[in-house]
Copies of this chain bind each other. A is one copy, B any other.
Amino acid sequence: ARPRVGYYYTGKAGAEIPLEQLKNIRVKDYQSIPVVVKESDSVYDAISTMFLEDVGTIFVLDAKSNLAGVLSRKDLLRASLGNQELESMPVSIIMTRMPNITVCYKDDLMIEVCKRLIEKQIDALPVVNRKSPREFEVIGRITKTTTTKLLVDLVNRDLPLKEEKYD
């Protein structure tokens, strides 16, 4: 259908994703709502919350609502193995504690957060707002689902794949 005359670029090598675009995508553009429990909540509560909200990682808040810890499915699975006291065991016993938590900020670049997820071998990290040197408010979450969505959006939103359209 295309004319075979004149100066004409086939477009094959021309379809490109501007790197500038990826470099400008920040955490705040992609973060989702954090799922939290209190430090005094039981392991049983945390497991219920995990199933109810269908998330892989839960953040734990202290009495002042600041970030105190993180619970992964792995932490909860380990705790539940052969344990009868899940309802009386507080999550504070099994959580990963501050300051051993990898966090990110709303203005961080998504690509940098992707690297952090890979390097630290974690599935999710909290988006925090630093209120004081030791007080972090949890305002969002970034997971490997977020980063997978970003990759799909990058291709879909701006430059749909031909395979998708015509297959």
Q: Which residues of A contact B (CB under 8 A)?
A: 12-13, 15-20, 22-23, 47, 50-51, 54, 56, 73-74, 76-78, 80-82, 86, 109, 111-112, 114-115, 117-118, 121, 123, 143-145, 147-152, 155, 159, 161, 163-164
Complex interface: chain B residues within 8 A of A86 (CB):
81-82
Say yes or no: B111 contacts A161, CB within 8 Å.
Answer: yes
Say yes or no: B73 contacts A74, CB within 8 Å.
Answer: yes
Instruction: Give the distance in Å from the alpha carbon of A149 to the alpha carbon of B117 in the complex.
Output: 9
Instruction: Give the distance in Å from the alpha carbon of A87 to the alpha carbon of B164 in the complex.
Output: 46
Say yes or no: B111 contacts A151, CB within 8 Å.
Answer: yes
Say yes or no: B80 contacts A152, CB within 8 Å.
Answer: no
Complex interface: chain B residues within 8 A of A163 (CB):
23, 109, 112
Complex interface: chain B residues within 8 A of A159 (CB):
19
Say yes or no: A111 contacts B18, CB within 8 Å.
Answer: no
A-B contact pairs, 15 of them (CB 8 A): A12-B20, A15-B20, A16-B16, A16-B18, A47-B77, A51-B78, A77-B80, A111-B152, A114-B151, A117-B145, A118-B152, A144-B145, A147-B148, A147-B151, A148-B148
Say yes or no: B22 contacts A13, CB within 8 Å.
Answer: no
